[in-house]
Amino acid sequence: MEERTGSPQVPKKGKVKPPWRAEGLPGTPGGRPKINWWRFAVTLLVVYAAFFFVSSFFDSNQVETVSYTEFTKQVNGGNVKEIYATGLSVEGHLKSAAKDPGSGNQSYTDFRTEIPTFANTDQLSQQLNAAGVEIKAEPLTSGRGFFLNLLLSLLPVLLLAGLWIWIMRRGASMMGGGGLGGLGKSKAAKPLEAGQVRVTFEDVAGIDEVENELVEIVDYLKDPDKYRRLGAKLPKGVLLAGPPGTGKTLLARAVAGEAKVPYFSASASEFIEMIVGVGASRVRDLFEEARKVAPSIVFIDEIDAIGRARGGAGGIGGHDEREQTLNQILTEMDGFSGAEGVIVIGATNRPEVLDPALLRPGRFDRTVQVGLPDQAGRTAILGVHSRGVPLDGAVSLDQLAKTTPGMTGADLANLVNEAALLAAKRGKEKVGMADFADALEKLQLGAARSIVMPEDERTRTAYHEAGHALLGMLQPGADPVRKISIIPRGRALGVTLSTPDTDRYAYDEKYLRGRITGALGGMAAEDVIYGVITTGAENDLEQVTMIARGMVGRWGMSAKVGPLTILPSDGQPQASPATLAIVDEEARRIVDECYADAVRILRENRDKLEGIVAALLEHETLDEATAYGAAGLAKS
């Protein structure tokens, strides 16, 4: 599903044409952030006061506060050079550094002390004069002054303010505006000019029926007056539901590309934050940007992340962030604000969990199922993805499509890429059918592991895989066996691959019983040959249990339970313990009957089983023709 480059469109003179596409949540690209000046002023004053208060405890000169006893000791020792006295407070300098016993023998030369009221000041004056101490009328340690204090205290605040504004502007350029770190604001849209990459319906293949449902929306966006004259209204929303990899995002982009309207793309998880209300704010920003360039398309991927049904046990009432975001989306799509000219396209893999208010007409008016492509669709998808890949003349895309049932568009794109990688690794100029076959084998069976198994383990694995294959060959209506391998791949020691010739959409009881019998073939073969059962059947038993319980509890294929849904595909069992016990009993009965059939068929066709085993031990991997030939059977 490649993207084609269209011709650039020149905007009209004097008008700036808005970008036709924007990825991520919108913001104000290129604009400056809005600053809350009240908050900034309050913060500035608080920080200034804190720095001013702290700076008052520091002085450029380190003045030691000493006791009066220490002061008189230095005076009597003739070590005091000069002093300044204000009332009973004395500051001074020593001739040489001394140590103060009261502060841990810390060395000092400048000191400050207080004269006790009972001290004899006349005697102290005589001692000072006798020691030759100079007494001054001015302070010895003048302070910094008011303006210097103000400057030094404002400097850190100015630095902090500059850093704050720089971070905010940097956040604006990276995230399209918002406060510090962009919290609570939308992430910036990433514009793509109209002349750049554009996707159209020519890049979408294999889902023609879905395209037909979306063509009407494209036609409306191109010529809305044609519909308005007849009173038709633009659909508010389209929900694309289907398995992963089926092309839901590509379809949304193709609609925007065909209609040549602005396109905003966002994942639902981008709206969710820890702080309640942030998601709702981002939704408002997104729709506000979309309305500015209406008509436009808003694509929300994985919408079930925020659109789940409300009132579940996981929420915290109306204050839950996810519910707040969902409520805002509901309001924007069909509320008082209105969203004229804005079409919302949502994508989800689980439409059954969405809130009913989201799916009603007026919000998502249409639900379009995007299913797996059929054989013709797979051929078309392979053609799209192999456009830029040089293919060998022997490559048949039709044949490849037949061997890839159940694959999505993403799987097929990966298949083409893996085949191209293998061809390049092998030094080829073109990608051949063998490269596709090996790439498909790698994707379906897993990468081969280079381990050496003991011979007895290898033989046991051959019997196990031969049991699967032979039962698949002999069961009426079973899927044909495509490949058998005893080369360890992934977690498996061996693999048997069976795929149908044509796409199947419904399965009867006979086919499902055949699937169970074939899945039990490996365990049955080990039982017939060795009389033991190993752990190699773990994955087989998981499939058997799932099919058998589905037959009884979901599809009404048990007369004892009847046509009831006891085991829904999503949710808790809807039945009493007694009914669930009957379901388990019936599932066990079906599996026991199928296992007995598997053992009987293998014993009756022991020669065919041995033929497949001998071929596997010799070649390790058998394709379809070789496998049927080794069993002495013709493909039906």
Active-site annotation, residues: 465
Q: d(Cα 16, Cα 19) in Å, to the nearest integer?
A: 9
Q: Which residues of 187-225 are buried (b: 16+ CB within 10 A; e: fewer)?
A: bbbebbebeeebbbbebbbbbeebbebbeebbebbeeee
- The helix (H) or strand (E) run that includes residue 113 is strand 106-114
The alpha carbon of residue 587 and the mean position of all alpha carbons in its chain are separated, in whole angstroms, by 38
Q: Supply the Cα-derived Rg of the chain in whole angstroms.
A: 41
**CA geometry: angle 363, 283, 182, nearest 5 deg:** 170
Partners of 495 in the beta sheet?
485
Q: Which residue do the tokens 């092309």 mark? A: 247
Give the Cα separation of 412 and 417 in Å (integer): 9
- Cα 204 to Cα 249: distance, rounded to the nearest angstrom: 11
Tell me: cis bond preceding 295? Omega within 30 of 0 counts: yes
**Rounded Cα gap, residues 565 and 557, in angstroms:** 11
- 8 Å CB contact between 79 and 95: yes
State the DSSP H helix or E strand holding residue 89, giving kind and residue range, or none if neither.
strand 89-100
Burial class (CB in 10 A: 0-12, 13-18, 19+), 484: buried
Q: In what helix (H) or strand (E) does residue 169 lie, and over which residues does it extend?
A: helix 146-175
**Extended strands (E) in 262-412:** 263-267, 296-301, 342-348, 366-369
Fill in the DSSP letter of residue 507.
-
Which residue spans within 372-437 are E strands per DSSP? Answer: none
Helices (H), 321-408: 321-334, 356-359, 375-385, 397-402
Coil, strand, or helix at residue 513?
helix
